[in-house]
Structure 1
Amino acid sequence: MHSFVYGIMSLVWLSSSGGGAELAPPVNLTLITMNTHFNLSWSQGARHRGANVSFSVQYVPSYKLSMPGTQWLTACENTPHTWCDLTPRKLYFQAIYTLRVRTHRGPLRSGWVLKEFCADKEAALGPPSRVDLAPAGALLNMMIWDPRSSTNGSMKELYPRMYYRVVYWEHSDTRSPDTVVVDTRVNTVTLPDLRAWTWYCVSVQSRYDFYSKTSAFTTPHCMQTEGAVPWWQILLIFSLSGLVGFVGLLVLLSSGLYCYRTAKDTLFPAVTLPPHFQAYLMDLSPGSDAPRLLTPDSESELTCDRLSICPQVVPLEVHLPPLSASTAPPSGLEADARHNRQDSGGSGDSGVYSTEGGSGPPRHCSHDLPSLGTEEPWDGGSTALLEPVSLEQVSLEQVSLEHRGLKAEAAGPWGVRDEGIMDMGV
């Protein structure tokens, strides 16, 4: 049926194009496929090779060709390439499609060239997408990943009876390998009859027997098997483990001892104070002068001696001037006045002066000395020493009153006032 339809389409093309067509159609239409990836390619006619031409590709399900009003679907329009990718068109895998290609150059068109395509029958089968090996003692476990479609699905969904052919051999550089072939439909395989501690290489092929499809073999993947560990390796591993543990224990003990010594030297230093310093610092008796904090109880018992502060006292001397003949005092007073002049070294100066810096008697701070303003008998001397208790207690008024009292006594019973007595200044 399909051949009949194809023949009819060829006759229609011949009748429409005629023998006098100016453009030659494409030649050698070929489909390059892998799983669900489809690519249609062709060659440019020899007569137009190198010319500025373009191509158009269309497709339609073959069963619609016998239907009136069939519309072709465009895959590539006016492309300068000699190939067209049909994968994005998502052609149904088990359906049969009719493809056609023609050449364009300006307003000129060539006739269509037709080609039938069935992906289920004609598409090539790809190898496994991945192969992994893992040692399992003296054997090898192999994991096979299915070929992938254009939508990243497994090709087993399209080929349920697909299986794998596994070829493995012992890796050797000195002799040709002896291969072993194993067919399997599962994705996990354990390779049998292997030797321990030996390198083996594996290659896998996808197969589908209904259309006799076979893929290329995968790149060889090699892995070494394992086995029972020899006694000397066990002994060596045990010895190394013990040595490492012993060294680690020594390091741990050394670190602990160092930390202990550091803490001990810091908190309890080896250099101590002399015994008499320790006894002084540890003396907590009430009479000790060691520094310590005062507590409320100790403050209540704290006693101090009374302290008196006395200012420096400057004794004052009062000198009386000599009396004139007309106003001479009584004999007793005259004698005292002469005595006063003799003590003053014959000087006619009168007033109050300080004995500071002289060789007078030592100064004392005493509360037994008489104060100014008290009436005491004059002992007849020419100098009266006035030693008040405090300089703050002496005032000009008190000195003036004392001076006036002395002048009254000098006047005597006659009531004559001695004009020779001058006011005294401090």
Structure 2
Amino acid sequence: MIALNTNYTLNWNWDQSPAGSHAVTFTAQYVGKYKLKSKKGPTWYTACEETSHRSCDLTPFNLHYLGIYMTRVQANANGCHSDWVLLEFCPDKDAALGPPAKVDLAPAGSDLDVFISDPLTSSNTSMRDTLRKIYYHILYWERSADTQALRTQTLSSGANLVTLPNLKAWTWYCVSVQSRYDFYNKSSSFTLPQCMQTEGNTPWWQIFLYFLASLVVCFLVMLLSLYSSFWCYKTVKTTLFPSDQLPPHFKKTSLQHLCDFPHLLSPDSESEQLCDKVTVYADPAVLEVHNPPAEALPPPPSGLEPDSSGRHSRQDSSSSGDSGVYSTGGSSNLQQPNNSQSSTGAGDFQHGPFDPEQVKMQEMTPGLKSPLLITDEGIVDICI
């Protein structure tokens, strides 16, 4: 039986010569030893049946570590069976103890801390749950190129964290750990050596070197910052204020082009003088003449004739009431008609150098008996 912690494998040997050329298979069984004394006879459990291998794994059957078991193996060839071969197996006594699952080192000033992980079972649990009195044997030494001058030191502890005392500062040490169990005098193999340098007070020359290195780094950082700032300033200045200016005729053309578009300029801006001024005139006034119906016109009074000058006085025109003619604006553009060009007929008008507005008003009032007389002040006299 090859057993390590809770991993169990049953192995056997076989001489092939008696079987000749026939294929041989094997059957492996196990049973608790205390069941052999049962009156009904023991019930054997088959672990491997008709296998061609020379081994059988009993780990999946979870044999109790503190139990005692009986195992047996039988050979089968061409329908024939050999006798059973028995083997007693007690894991607590026969199973070997494995080394620690893991060992880690950490400096603790001028000492070293050793972190030890317990050996593991087949189900990845700690062997300490099965073996309460397991402990560790620690072997450590100062690393040196001369292997013959090595002086090893030992330390035993049942704790998972062990500190190696009395070590030299800033010195490399190597550590190897072994698991032990004294009841059956079990001891595992040593783990692979792991090395770590101890620490201590920092020497003055290292402090000086660290200070000098920090100064160099700070200087380089400041220099890089200044260079970056200068480069950014130069780039912005070159972009916003280029050294190459536009020619004068390009500038003049650009200003004239800007004046073609509406924009706001300050009163003191010189570019405003380059723009033409615009004068806005109001729409010309339009005279409207309303022609009253013929039946509403009163008969002309007797003895009322237009005078030789062709105009009434301002008092007559102002007292004549509503004559049906009014002006929507100033009439300063109207010209005084020539007396020599007055009409001789009752309903006809001879067009002289009248303003177009006067002609329009005459065409709109064909029922008037006398021509339109327009004064210099823009007053229109109408005889009805």
TM-score bracket, shorter-length normalisation = 0.5 to 0.7
8 Å CA contact retained: 2:35, 2:41: no
SS at match of 1:43: coil
d(CA) in 2 for partners of 1:230 and 1:91? 59
1:60-109 CA distance string (max 9 Å, x none): 11111122143210011111222111111111111111111111111111
1:93 aligns with 65
Q: Which SS does the other structure have where 2:73 is aligned?
A: strand
Name the CA distance, whole Å, in 2 between partners of 1:76 and 1:87: 12
The reply on whether 1:291 has 2:264 as its aligned counterpart is no
Correspondence list, 1:82-121, <5 A: 82-121=54-93
1:302 aligns with 2:302: no
- Separation in structure 1 between the aligned mates of residue 199 and residue 248 of structure 2, nearest angstrom: 76
Residue in structure 2 matched with residue 363 of structure 1 by the alignment: none
Q: What stretches of structure 1 of length at least 5 have no aligned partner? A: 1-30, 283-287, 305-426
Choose the corresponding residue for 2:123, options 133, 141, 151: 151
User: Closer, same or farther in 2 for the Cα pair 1:218/1:280, shift >3 Å?
Assistant: closer
Note if 1:230 corresponds to 2:230.
no
Q: Which residue number corresponds to residue 57 of structure 1?
A: 28
- Equivalent pair of 2:19/2:77 in contact (CA under 8 Å): no
Return the letter of the residue paired with 1:55: F
Q: Which residue of 2 aligns with 1:48?
A: 18
TM-score with structure 1 setting the length = 0.58
Q: Report whether the alignment pairs 1:250 with 2:223.
A: yes
**Equivalents in 2 of 1:289, 1:49: separation in Å?**
116
Number of residues paired by the alignment? 270
Task: Choose from 100, 104, 111 the match for 1:128.
Answer: 100
Choose the corresponding residue for 2:3, options 33, 40, 64.
33
Query: Offset of 1:231 from its aligned partner?
Result: 1.2
d(CA) in 1 for partners of 2:14, 2:248: 117
1:102-140 Cα shifts (integer Å, max 9, x gaps): 111111111111111111121110011111112222211
Question: Counterparts of 1:348-359 in structure 2 under 5 Å?
Answer: none
Task: Spell out the pairing of 1:354-373 with structure 2 (5 A cutoff).
Answer: none
Secondary structure of residue in 2 paired with 1:65: helix
Give matches, 1:368-387, under 5 Å: none
Does residue 1:162 correspond to 2:134, yes or no? yes
Percent identity for Structure 1 against Structure 2 = 48
Shift of 1:167: 0.8
Matched, 1:79 2:55: no
Partner of 1:383: none
Give, in whole Å, the separation in 2 of the partners of 1:65 and 1:136.
57
Normalising by structure 2, we get a TM-score of 0.64
Q: Distance in 1 between matches of 2:238 and 2:191?
A: 72
Q: Structure 1 residues 264 and 56 mapped into 2: Cα distance closer, same or farther (>3 Å)?
A: same
Moved more, 227-236 or 204-213: 227-236
Equivalent residue in structure 1 for 2:194, among 208, 221, 228: 221
Give the whole-Å Cα distance in 2 for the aligned partners of 1:208 and 1:85: 25
Unaligned 5+ segments in structure 2 are 266-271, 281-384
Distance 1:118 1:293, change over 3 A: same
The superposition leaves residues 245-282 of structure 1 with CA deviations (integer Å, 9 ceiling, x where unpaired) of: 11111111111111112212221234446789879988
Q: How far apart, CA to CA, are the structure 1 residues paired with 2:232 and 2:33? A: 90
Alpha-carbon separation, structure 1, partners of 2:116 and 2:125: 15
**How has the CA–CA distance of structure 1 residues 81 and 234 changed in structure 2, closer, same or farther, with 3 Å as cutoff?**
same
Deviation at 1:206, TM superposition (A): 0.4
**Whole-angstrom distance in 2 between the partners of 1:121 and 1:295:** 105
Give the 3 Å change call, closer, same or farther, for CA 303–137 of structure 1 in structure 2.
Answer: same
1:268 matched to 2:236: no
With over 3 angstroms needed to count, the CA separation of the structure-2 counterparts of 1:74 and 1:278, relative to structure 1, is closer
Which residue number in structure 2 is paired with residue 317 of structure 1? none
Paired residue secondary structure (2:214): helix
RMSD: 3.0
- Give the Cα–Cα distance (whole angstroms) in 2 for the partners of residues 215 and 135 of structure 1: 26
Matched residues in 1 for 2:56 and 2:263: separation? 106
Question: CA offset at residue 227 of structure 1?
Answer: 2.0
CA–CA distance in structure 1, aligned partners of residues 159 and 205 of structure 2 = 40
